[in-house]
Amino acid sequence: MDNWLKKQALLSGDKLAVTDGTNNLTFAELNQRATQIAGQLNSLGLLQNERIALLTNNTLAGYLTAMAILTAGHTIVWLNRRLSTAELNYQLTDSQVDFCLFEPGLETTGLLVKTVSLTDLFAAPVTQNTLQAEFKETEPASIMYTSGTTGRPKGVVQTFGNHLNSALASALNMGVSPADEWLCTVPIFHISGFSIMMRGLIYGMTVRLVEHFDAREIHKILVEEPITMISVVPYMLKKLLRLKDDTKAAYNQRFQGMLLGGGPIDRSTLELCEQLKIPVVQSYGMTETCSQIIALSFADAANHIGSSGKPLFLTQLRIASKTSEIQVKTPALTPGYLGQPAKYTAKITPDGWFKTGDVGHLDEDGFLYVDGRSDDMIISGGENIFPDEIESVYADCDQLEEMAVIGIDDELWEQKPIAFIVSKSNELSAQALLDYGRARLAHYKVPRTFYVLDHLPYNASGKLQRYKLHELLASKTPVQQLK
């Protein structure tokens, strides 16, 4: 394939490639600037096929630098700006990078590799550009560390072919038109954000960058700018819905809908979407599959509450017969974890399917329901229990801030569910929570024990770290039990 950036400079040179609302770059300008920065990377000694770590917010400078890394034939190692120094150093060491580029303001002391600010990079001399004439399907474009709710993070290799197939499958599912403009407020160092950049490059589509999610600002952009799509996670969706409901302001005429990742939505949220005429495509995917591989159209949503949808055109899906694990085949699947072939092999079945680690089921129309992580599944008296289900029922309990459920060994039932809670009320009792659960759940699913915490343990990506709750119980640290 031709180098995608040069290709879009040829095909869509005059078209807006990226904007942060103030500064605009056409594809021709983006190509010209990225080419220059590629030459500046050269002058730092980064000659060919290097891995380069990048620590940035959703800024134009970061966007340009990512494009320069790709067009120069290097691989981006995306770093999460919320990580601690120790976590960053683990990823920098694991990916064997020599350089970490950082956006001014995100400087971190104590990193084990040479750091260069984007300001310094952009001021460097431009030496000869050794641009990639071609992008090869099998070559790595990016490496992204999975957030790892258990164990150490793994570097997921994402090839140009993975990104291409992901973008094409998304186009077949949601449609694509030359007038599309995608708002990117999810982080570009996550696949949710980076996949928007790649779609921009592959479709010749405008990307509207926003640095931080501020609901009022996003709402205003959706009203005033020609945005057609936005990617959101559930909390963003809910905030935007609330604002839309309050203000009654219409989004711009071109607006087509929202792509939702991070779990299905509940009936009341869906009803609000319908009432406010905001089509939401729910989706399921992961870093290993270069974003969504399963999607639920808005038309199907009402009759399949809780479903993640159907496999996209290029994705094959099956539910393993004994374990009920969700397994997929897709050309968007990573070819491996950096330097950890055994961990990758362990995720592939003998007949070539990728084991997602999620457990799920299909309804009779072929819609997928994700029940939970297989690692989190609790088997109690022969019944499968998923913490997600219990937590989502308790999410509507007014006196609770939040809840996390894990399974512990039990003599009688083999395992049983127990809960960690963050309470909103001093008067909350274990009996009240038991009663609440028994009114809404099968009795074997209701936690018998509730531990009180100030906050639940989350990792930098906002994923709950259940293994820390297991560690907490196993440790000598006293934990307050709700009475």
Give me the phi and psi of 395, to 5 degrees please.
Answer: -60, -25
Amino acid, res. 425: S
List 112, 172, 249, 395, residue binding a copy of itself (CB under 8 A): 172
Cα dihedral 435, 438, 441, 445 sign: positive
Instruction: Identify any residues that bridge with 318 across adjacent strands, giving them in sequence order.
Output: 327
What is the Cα–Cα distance from 29 to 17, expressed in whole angstroms? 9
Rank residues 7 and 238 by Cβ distance to a copy of itself and give the closer one. 7
List 23, 43, 119, 134, residue binding a copy of itself (CB under 8 A): 134
Burial group, residue 368, by CB count within 10 angstroms (0-12, 13-18, 19+): buried
Rank residues 165 and 374 by Cβ distance to a copy of itself and give the closer one. 165
What is the Cα–Cα distance from 375 to 466, expressed in whole angstroms? 10
Q: Which of residues 407-466 bind a copy of itself (CB under 8 A)?
A: none
Could you tell me the strand order of the sheet in which 99-102 lies?
Answer: 114-117, 99-102, 51-55, 75-79, 140-145, 155-159
Say if residues 225 and 197 touch (Cβ distance below 8 Å). Answer: no
List 127, 316, 392, 459, residue binding a copy of itself (CB under 8 A): 316
Beta strand 140-145 with 229-232 is: unpaired
Q: Is 175 near a copy of itself (CB under 8 A)?
A: yes
Write the interaction track for a copy of itself spanning residues 177-196; mark x where CB under 8 A is met and - where it is not: xx------------------
Q: Is 366 near a copy of itself (CB under 8 A)?
A: yes
Say if residues 221 and 248 touch (Cβ distance below 8 Å). Answer: no
Rank residues 76 and 168 by Cβ distance to a copy of itself and give the closer one. 168
Q: Which of residues 199-258 bind a copy of itself (CB under 8 A)?
A: 202-204
Shortest spacing between CB 310 and a copy of itself, in angstroms: 6
Shortest spacing between CB 278 and a copy of itself, in angstroms: 18
Q: Report which of 71, 77, 156, 152 is spatially closest to residue 111, judged by C-alpha positions.
A: 77
Q: Is 11 near a copy of itself (CB under 8 A)?
A: yes
Token output for 281: 């495509």
Shortest spacing between CB 171 and a copy of itself, in angstroms: 6
Q: Is 302 near a copy of itself (CB under 8 A)?
A: no
Shortest spacing between CB 247 and a copy of itself, in angstroms: 29
Rank residues 177 and 480 by Cβ distance to a copy of itself and give the closer one. 177
Report the interface residues with a copy of itself, using CB under 8 A.
1-2, 4, 7, 10-11, 134, 168, 171-172, 175-178, 202-204, 310-311, 313-314, 316, 366
